[in-house]
Copies of this chain bind each other. A is one copy, B any other.
Amino acid sequence: MGLREKKAQRNRERIVREALALFARHGYEQTTMESIARAAELSPSTLYRCFPSKDLIVLSRFKSYAEEFARVFAACSMKRPVDEALAQAIFTTLEAEDARETETLLVRSIIDKAPVARARLWDYIAEQQRQLCKLLAHRLHAKPDDLRIVLAAQTAMMIAGIAADRWRSTGRKTPSRATAAELMRLIEQQAVVFPRPPAKSVKPARRPARPAPRK
């Protein structure tokens, strides 16, 4: 590997490190690209060459999770039923995220407070959903826009999102994996208030596995 790429890699790492520190200290909006460049000891021009926009600095941390997810899924999607592979990928990715406690919490708290960065993260997640559709479609020999494929992909992302959220909001007391498993259970048992088409004939009066919380 060339010496050039090594240097670029080190640059990127230092930028992210220094930027996160500044964001944590003064807030995302208050930190200018110029100050980041100063902290990372390079010119604004170079900074913009590495990260064309400010939010990419924060978002770069999420790419590793996305890559891990795709890797795990690809690894076991051929040996096992799809739903198991999907669940496995969710669990593994979530656990990896839980494991990096301080960094995950830091990055999320920065993002939550910064509307622009937060919005960009949503957009990134939507992109990941599309990627997952492709993976699923390939595995099931279906088209990526098959309704069942789209539904499965979005459900998976939803589960991961809720679980990760909960881990944060409970002060990392609830492991993401447990929440994700619980969500899958709820879905499978239909123990949730699901939207359904308005009663066409009978109302089966579905009985939730757990009684709905009443006052």
Contacts and interface: CB of A to CB of B under 8 A. Distances in A.
Interface of A: 81-84, 86-88, 90-91, 115-116, 118-120, 122-123, 125-126, 136, 140-143, 145-152, 154-156, 158-159, 161-162, 166, 169, 179, 181-188, 190-199, 203, 208, 210, 212-215
Main secondary structure on chain A at its contact with chain B?
A: helix
Contacts of A149: 193
Contacts of A179: 147
A78 to B, nearest CB: 15
A150 B162 CA distance: 8
A155 B123 CA distance: 18
A78 B6 CA distance: 63
A176 to B, nearest CB: 13
